[in-house]
Amino acid sequence: TTTLPIDLWVPSTAVVKPQRGVQVALGYFRNFKEDIIETSVELYYKHLRNQIEYGESAVGDITIDVEDEFTYGKGYSTGAEFFIKKAKGKWSGWIGYTLAWTWRKFPEINEGKVFLARYDRRHDLSIVNMYEINKHWKVSATFVFATGQRTTLPVSFFMNEVQVHYVYGKRNWYQLPPYHRLDLGFVYTILPKKKRKINFTSDIAVSVYNAYNRQNPFFVFVDVGG
């Protein structure tokens, strides 16, 4: 099977070939302070073949064989990943950051010129912190930030009798707002009062997802008002 940029799965056929990718990576890893601090830097390049997009003239008509609306090309992705982790102690956690570019090139899209893929995310940052207050209480905080995905939106429209027709801009020209959120966690550990041959502990965990109520857009749509 192969995936489409619009989050659909289609089976591979004589026409729809499976997507293929080759990735090359070069990394450097080093620990400090008796393995308390772990660090790494990695550079990568990925070459992609048999990529699938809807053609410029695709209309989404259910009477048309969907394979006839596909166009095929190639792509590549390149970037760098940075990671630092504190693995021991009352306070622990890590920071991971990725700087990346993801491109596509289709003979029948964007006049054959390269364009940014939908999944292109220039920046991707994760910060995870955990603190052990005492033998019973632990708290954690996770912050996530990512550049918004790209999509294609209309740049104008015209009316044909009562039907609206959109004129779309270049492929993936529009970028959604950045995605970010903060998650908080609290864990209370119940320890056994007496030592037994088989000791066990129980945890009570409470999590707060998206603590500051960030309204991250998942998709956008165009509405022509009267």
Distance CA 21, CA 30 (A): 29
State the sign of the Cα–Cα–Cα–Cα dihedral 38, 41, 46, 51: positive
Using alpha carbons only, give the angle 120, 97, 175 rounded to the nearest 5 degrees: 25
pTM over 0.75: yes
Task: Give pLDDT, residue 55.
Answer: 79
pLDDT tens across the length of the chain (226 residues): 444 444 456 777 777 888 889 999 999 999 998 889 999 999 999 999 988 888 776 665 566 677 777 888 999 999 999 999 998 889 999 999 999 999 999 998 988 999 999 889 999 999 999 999 998 899 999 999 999 999 888 888 888 877 888 888 888 999 999 999 999 999 999 887 777 666 677 889 999 999 999 999 887 877 776 5
N- to C-terminal Cα separation, the chain: 43
Q: Is 132 exposed, middle or buried (0-12, 13-18, 19+ CB in 10 A)?
A: middle
Q: Contact, 73 vs 51, CB < 8 A?
A: yes
